[in-house]
Structure 1
Amino acid sequence: MADIAAAERLLLALDFDGTLAELVDDPLAARPRPGTVALLDDISALPGTEVMLLSGRQLKELRYVAQMGPRVRLVGSHGAEPEEGLALDAAESALLEAIDLRWGQLVADPASAGARVERKPAGRVLHVRGVEDPVRRARVLDRGHSFVRAIAGLHVTPGKDVLEVTVLDVTKGSFLDAARRPGQRVLFIGDDVTDETALRVLRRGDVGVKVGSELDGPTAARFRVPNPTAVTRLLAELVAARGRALGG
């Protein structure tokens, strides 16, 4: 902590769900843990420090649930939806229509009761957390994967009880790698499979933190914390350590 906090230029990049907020069944009910917004505001106010939320949520939804201050940069759809917006061509829009048709039939099937499809500007997400039986949940995901596997031009990303497809070849890792400024060191914190793409592009001198235990699977991160409560404590330590390092 003391080492990364002393970086001349620091980019703090974080996932939202499962990292700053507890995972909940209703996506719109998610909120940052108490004190988190103030801590990120404090960090972003420090010299040479940039804070970014890099989430799988679509941008307008991220704005609603995250409730961050103006200094925190919000990026949605795993990097495909920066604040400056995006535009799709006719071929990409046609691919989304094909997904809507196939997955619409899937979730309308009584055997998929509880599943839903989230529409994003550049992709779609099949959510199965609402499917009560774990065996049926896995079966719905498998069917969803089989429906889109044959469609050329799609990029498929599995997650926790979700399957996401996008028409843009963008991951959290590719976005983070392109977004970092010269001379910046990066502290990245995330919990999901999709966050591993960001953890894998970290460079010498950067720090990656996985939220979750070894039971959540392997990770490219050097460090782990158990839950969002521990992330809040980590951010408080970062505020104090960076303040000391910068002579504040």
Structure 2
Amino acid sequence: MEFTSSEGEQRYAEVVARAADVVVGLDFDGTLAPIVDDPDAAHIHPDAGGVLTDLAAAVRAVAVITGRPARQALALGGLDEVGNAIGDVGRELYLFGQYGNERWSSTNRRIVTPRPPAGLATFERDLPRVLRGADAAEAYVEDKGLAVAVHTRRLDDADGAFDRLVKPITELAEQHGLSVEPGRQVLEVRSHGMHKGLVVDWLMEHLEAGGFLFAGDDLGDVEAFEAVLDLRRRGLPTLLVCSASREEPTLRDLADVVVDGPAGVLDLLRTLTTDAS
């Protein structure tokens, strides 16, 4: 655990002091689960269930906020079982999938989800032509139901293919009234209007929380970081945690604490739980 400044250490102490009022929001890929070539194999860190259960007893609530479909995150994270354990300590686990478009909790186990956005089906129909034109025909296309993600991680020239695809995929998305969310060697195409920052705001209001800790690793987490910074400007205790990504410095520049991947995130949460006891 590396604080980025003396102010970061002070913010951690403030969160510890107010832990019972603080919501902890966690990204999934790169934060609770390692980044791997096959997205379907990104299982949660084996220690995460126990760490989250212990943490839940010390804070207002724990929420997983991910770009993945909620059903995928439930399966890869074993979150049904984690939710059971958290329920046993009198708390609730929240899961927000597809950047907040889908919602699940351990007390209401039905996934609430909207219809797929208009234009997504025709975008997906036109996508192979764009991939061929960028010499990236073998990119892995993940149909997420409410979004389409184009992964270049498996390609020999992953970074080059990503760079070649940014412009044509953005143009195609705009033609179909959709937006593009770039990540680490992935471009996700989805509807406008929902992002992780709005989830932070919803949790604060819905739970009448008094502070927020958010941990993430990629560009899809920037809006959550910005929402937490807004809470900080309002005088609330907050902490921003970057699960270290040398490929993406944006979050590192905003973070109070930098940790070494999912194992580092869990170490920080263990320490927080102990310090708040």
* DSSP 3-state at the match of 1:111: coil
Answering whether residue 29 of structure 2 is matched by residue 31 of structure 1, we say no
Identity %: 27
Q: Which of 23, 46, 62 matches 1:11? A: 23
Taking the aligned partners of 1:104 and 1:215, their CA distance within structure 2 comes to 27
Matches within 5 A, 1:100-179: 100-107=124-131, 111-133=135-157, 134-152=159-177, 154-179=178-203
Deviation at 1:114, TM superposition (A): 3.1
What is the rounded CA distance, in whole Å, between the counterparts of 1:16 and 1:167 in structure 2?
A: 21
Question: What is the root-mean-square deviation of aligned Cα atoms in Å?
Answer: 2.1
AA partner of residue 24 (structure 2): L
Report how far residue 85 of structure 1 moved.
1.2
Cα distance in 2 for partners of 1:88, 1:110 equals 30
CA contact (8 A) 1:126 1:163 kept: yes
Q: TM-score by structure 2 length? A: 0.78
Asked if residue 78 in structure 1 is aligned to residue 99 in structure 2, the reply is: yes
Structure 1 spans left out of the alignment, 5+ residues? 244-248
Aligned residues: 238
> Following TM superposition, by how much is the alpha carbon of 1:226 offset from its aligned partner in structure 2, in angstroms?
3.0
Q: Which residue of 1 aligns with 2:213?
A: 187
Question: Bigger shift: 50-59 or 112-121?
Answer: 112-121
3-state secondary structure, aligned to 2:227: coil
Report the CA distance between 1:201 and its aligned residue: 0.7
Q: Distance in 2 between matches of 1:139 and 1:77?
A: 25
Q: Which amino acid in 2 is paired with 1:74?
A: L
Residue from 47, 64, 70 that aligns with 1:59: 70
Which amino acid counterpart does residue 77 of structure 1 have in structure 2? Q
For residues 194 and 134 of structure 2, the distance between their equivalents in structure 1, rounded to whole angstroms, comes to 33
Secondary structure of the residue aligned to 2:44 is coil
Letter in 1 for 2:226: R
Q: Which is further off, 210-219 or 112-121? A: 210-219
CA distance in 2, matches of 1:30, 1:146: 30
Tell me, yes or no, if structure 1 residue 234 matches structure 2 residue 268: yes
**Cα distance in 2, alignment partners of residues 140 and 168 from structure 1:** 20
Match of 2:56 in 1: 44
Question: Residues of 1 paired with 2:173 and 2:221: CA distance?
Answer: 22
5+ long unaligned stretches in structure 2 = 1-11, 87-92, 105-110
Give the TM-score normalised by the residue count of structure 1: 0.87
**2-side partners of 1:44 and 1:139: how far apart?**
43
Q: Counterparts of 1:150 and 1:194 in 2: how far apart (Å)?
A: 22
Q: Once structures 1 and 2 are overlaid, which stretch shifts more, 54-63 or 33-42?
A: 33-42
Q: Distance in 2 between matches of 1:87 and 1:19?
A: 26
- Greater helix share, structure number: 2
Question: In the TM superposition, what is the alpha-carbon distance from 1:109 to its structure 2 partner?
Answer: 6.6
Moved more, 190-199 or 178-187: 178-187
With 58-67 and 178-187 compared, the bigger mean Cα shift is at 178-187
Please state how far the C-alpha of 1:38 moved relative to its aligned partner.
0.5
How far, CA to CA, are the matches of 2:36 and 2:136 in structure 1? 20
Secondary structure at the aligned position of 1:178 is classed as: helix
Q: Alpha-carbon deviation of 1:102?
A: 1.7
Q: 1:14: how far off? A: 0.3
Answer whether contact 2:134 2:161 (CA < 8 A) is retained: no
1:5–1:242 Cα contact (<8 Å) kept: yes
- Residue 212 (str. 1) matches residue 244 (str. 2): yes
* Contact 2:27-2:65 at 8 Å conserved across structures: yes
Q: Which residue is equivalent to 1:222?
A: 256
